[in-house]
């Protein structure tokens, strides 16, 4: 049995449920992998864990990986979880904001793991880093108090979280482009790990895909089943977590391995950071 460690990019919730299914239902063990997970969060740097050799793969934001590769770090993307990016900016309806270009002057609360992605998207819409006051996500006010407040998060869960906190009616501003959709939650490793543990990485991608396919058959089952284990520390009510799981289904890829559309998406992201696709993408 091969020990295989995975760093998630966020706290454990339905965003990673397909992987937990792979663990709990013996899918990874059937391919000789003893998979363990390291929990992420707003201050966790998934790529740093990879570079320190603490994990074999991370589930990362593609723009963050591209920026690290452009800076000289030895990282490579081998898969993706989401075929479309659910990351969005959420504001109150009375803010008067409805587009990315409207966010100039806002106080934007962004998880550190998502900051590069958000800055890249805003820059493409004419909003420079100095036009927005970036704030630590963990210090965000409840209920989006004030029309100048905006929060970055996945549209599959964050609007529901904010409404539950008392935000009232909110507006979801998509970051993803209809014309050029971006992948999200990329499976990332180092070139050295890919060389020495390529078979294990392929097995992880295959069995994770099976886990996600099982989840898609009935998205209400596993949030209930994992409530007292993987999701034990969540403040989110169970019905909200089920809704989160249901709403992410259109974003989940059929298989985590990179297909042509995923490579095209990553190539576009890489070009925005000055990278050729061969610098940081590997179909395994």
Please report, in tens digits, the pLDDT of each residue of the chain (284 residues total): 999 999 999 999 999 999 999 999 999 999 999 999 999 998 889 999 999 999 999 999 999 999 999 999 999 999 999 999 999 999 998 889 999 999 999 999 999 999 999 999 999 999 998 999 999 998 888 767 667 899 999 999 999 999 888 888 899 999 998 888 999 999 999 999 999 999 999 999 999 999 999 999 999 999 999 999 999 999 999 999 999 999 999 999 999 999 999 999 999 999 999 998 788 999 88
Q: Are residues 137 and 55 in the same domain?
A: no
pTM for the whole structure: 0.95
Task: Give the torsion sign (CA, 251, 188, 153, 235).
Answer: positive
Using the 3D structure, point to which of 152, 174, 196 is the last residue of a domain.
174
Q: State which residues form the domain around 101.
A: 87-174
CATH value at residue 200: 3.40.190.10
Domain assignment present for residue 284? The answer is no
SS (HEC) of 166-209: CCCCEEEEECCCCCCCCCEEEEEECHHHHHHHHHHHHHHHHHHH
Domain assignment present for residue 120? The answer is yes
Using the 3D structure, point to which of 107, 139, 174 is the last residue of a domain.
174
Domain assignment present for residue 209? The answer is yes
Q: Are residues 13 and 39 in the same domain?
A: yes
Using the 3D structure, point to which of 134, 153, 174 is the last residue of a domain.
174
pLDDT of residue 70: 96
pLDDT of residue 239: 96
Q: Are residues 130 and 248 in the same domain?
A: no
- Alpha-helix runs per DSSP H in the chain: 17-24, 46-51, 62-70, 115-123, 158-164, 191-217, 221-225, 238-248, 260-271
Q: Are residues 191 and 273 in the same domain?
A: yes
Q: Are residues 78 and 108 in the same domain?
A: no
Domain count, the chain: 2
Q: Are residues 42 and 77 in the same domain?
A: yes
Q: Are residues 241 and 191 in the same domain?
A: yes
Burial-class residue 46 by CB neighbours within 10 Å (0-12, 13-18, 19+). Answer: buried
Q: Are residues 259 and 189 in the same domain?
A: yes
Tokens for 92, please give them: 């109150």
Q: Are residues 210 and 193 in the same domain?
A: yes
């Amino acid at each position: 049995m091969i020990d295989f460690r995975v760093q998630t990019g966020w706290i454990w919730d339905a965003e990673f449920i397909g992987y937990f299914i792979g663990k709990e239902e013996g899918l990874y063990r059937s391919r000789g992998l003893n998979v363990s997970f390291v929990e992420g969060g707003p201050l966790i740097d998934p790529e740093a864990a990879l570079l320190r050799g603490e994990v074999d793969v991370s589930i990362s934001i593609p723009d963050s990986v591209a920026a690290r590769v452009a800076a000289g770090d030895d990282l490579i993307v081998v898969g993706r979880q989401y075929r479309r990016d659910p990351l969005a900016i959420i504001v109150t309806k009375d803010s008067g904001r409805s587009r990315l270009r409207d966010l100039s002057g806002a106080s934007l609360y962004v998880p550190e793991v998502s900051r590069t992605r958000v800055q890249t998207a805003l820059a493409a819409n004419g909003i420079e880093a100095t036009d927005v006051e970036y704030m630590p996500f963990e210090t965000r006010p409840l209920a989006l108090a004030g029309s100048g407040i905006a929060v970055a998060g996945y549209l599959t869960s964050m609007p529901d979280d904010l409404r539950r906190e008392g935000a009232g009616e909110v507006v979801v501003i998509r970051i993803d482009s209809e014309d050029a959709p971006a992948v999200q939650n990329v499976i990332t490793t180092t070139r050295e790990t890919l060389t020495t543990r390529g078979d294990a990485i392929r097995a992880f991608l295959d069995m994770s895909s099976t886990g996600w396919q099982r989840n898609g058959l009935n998205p209400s089952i596993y949030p209930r089943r994992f409530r007292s284990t993987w999701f034990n520390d969540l403040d989110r009510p169970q019905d909200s977590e089920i809704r989160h799981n249901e709403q992410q289904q259109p974003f989940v890829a059929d298989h985590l391995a990179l297909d042509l559309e995923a490579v095209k998406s990553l190539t576009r992201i890489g070009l925005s950071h000055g990278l050729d696709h061969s610098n940081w993408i590997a179909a395994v």
